[in-house]
Amino acid sequence: MKKGLLIISLVSFLSVLFLNGCVPSKQVEEERVISADRLMKRLEANRRKVKSFTGTGTIYINSPDIDAKSNFQVEIKKPDSVKVSFYGPFGIDLASALITPQNFQFFDIINNNLYRGKLKSDAMKSILKINISFDDLMDMLTCSINLTDKLRREPDKYETTGDYYQLTYFDSSAARTSLFMIRKDDLGVSEYNQKDSKGKNLVSTQYSNFRKIDESSIPYIINLNDELHGQKIKIEYRSVELNTESGSLKLSVPNDAKIIDW
């Protein structure tokens, strides 16, 4: 009888240990699921940590005006300056552009022509051959998404699927839906889609090949499919540096360059 009680007690003791051992993993899983409000604030805080961005790699552009590939270097000083330099085979300088929300300069190195003017709505399309706003260009090149307008608004739908958070926002005034897929482990945005009221894709962007730089998760591959304007842009970074000290961004233009005011 005593032997039987001893066995039952031992089994009960082991059962308690086993059950207790299972509890922490459940708690850890629950801790990974954070509120939508806190998630958006952390994403925006991570974006604002990046004050300057320097990257080199390859850009592919397919649009109604151009189908091309080029090596490039981008230098960005937030909040208002983007410098992009394009290179051909064997590192030959092709062109460089300096863009701010108000003005642009585009230096055609091959023909020694400097184009400059106000950053009107069609300037980016005419010079860089892509239909994109200054803010969207800066966000795309720095692998980030501006979430400022969503900080005071709850998502219309908030789900967790596997290793991702999924947030959906409906904009009735623009008849659009925005969807964000965010990695749970490092809060990297892996996908951003905009759809019309009928569910048709307008713009979709995928981010992949993430690397940790100064506690920020940076995707080294960005694929943008802009069905609204019939253009595709792919960026493959080879190197990225964040928050390095540098002076103001300038173009190096020879004195004999022909200046063309846009």
pLDDT given at position 45: 87
For position 31, what pLDDT does the model report? 46
User: Is residue 141 classed exposed, middle or buried when 0-12, 13-18 and 19+ CB atoms within 10 A define those classes?
Assistant: buried
Q: How far is CA 127 from CA 67, 108, 109, 262, in A?
A: 14, 10, 13, 10
Beta-strand (E) ranges in 48-188?
52-63, 66-77, 81-87, 93-99, 103-108, 113-118, 157-161, 164-171, 176-183
Mean pLDDT of the chain: 83
Whether residue 204 is contained in a domain is answered as yes
DSSP per residue, 61-80: EEETTEEEEEEEEEEEETTT
Is residue 210 a part of any domain in this protein? yes
Q: According to the model, what pLDDT value does residue 123 have?
A: 74
**Does 59 reside within a domain?**
yes
Percentage above 90 pLDDT, the chain: 49
Burial class of residue 8 in the structure, from the number of CB atoms within 10 Å of its CB (0-12 exposed, 13-18 middle, 19+ buried):
exposed
Residue 254 backbone dihedrals phi, psi, to 5 degrees = -70, 155
Is residue 28 one of the residues assigned to a domain? Answer: no
pLDDT tens digit sequence for 122-171: 777 777 788 888 888 888 888 888 777 887 888 999 999 889 999 999 98
- From CA 206, how far away is CA 191, in angstroms rounded? 5
User: Confidence class of residue 121 from pLDDT cuts 50, 70 and 90?
Assistant: low
| Residue of 127 and 69 predicted with greater confidence | 69
Structure confidence at residue 27 (pLDDT): 37
Q: Which residue, 235, 233, 185, is CA-closest to 212?
A: 185
Can you tell me which residue has the tokens 């207790």? 20
Number of domains into which the chain is organized: 1
- pLDDT score recorded for residue 18: 35
Query: Is there a domain that residue 33 lies in?
Result: no
pLDDT exceeds 60 at position 203: yes
CATH code at position 59: 2.50.20.10
* 26 within some domain: no
pLDDT tens digits, one per residue of 233-254: 999 999 999 998 777 899 999 9
- Contact, 188 vs 220, CB < 8 A? no
Q: Which residues contact 184 (CB under 8 A, 6 or more apart)?
A: 32, 160, 163, 164, 165
Residues in contact with 131: Cβ distance below 8 Å, sequence separation at least 6, in sequence order: 63, 124, 125, 226, 229, 231
> What pTM does this model have?
0.82
> Quick one: pLDDT at residue 48?
86
Asked whether residue 1 is domain-assigned, the answer is no
Q: How far, in Å, are 8, 129, 163, 217 from residue 185 at the CA level?
A: 42, 37, 7, 10
Q: Residue 24: its pLDDT value, please?
A: 38
CB atoms within 10 A of CB 226: 20
Closest CA relative to residue 132, chosen from 217, 226, 15: 226
Tokens 């967790």 correspond to what residue? 160
Please tell me the predicted confidence (pLDDT) of residue 32. 55
The pLDDT-based confidence of 78 (bands split at 50, 70, 90) is: confident
- CB contact at 8 A, 193 and 179: yes
Helix (H) or strand (E) holding 224: strand 216-226
Domain residues for the domain of 131 are 43-261
Residue 166 lies in a domain: yes
Peptide bond into 89 cis (omega under 30): no
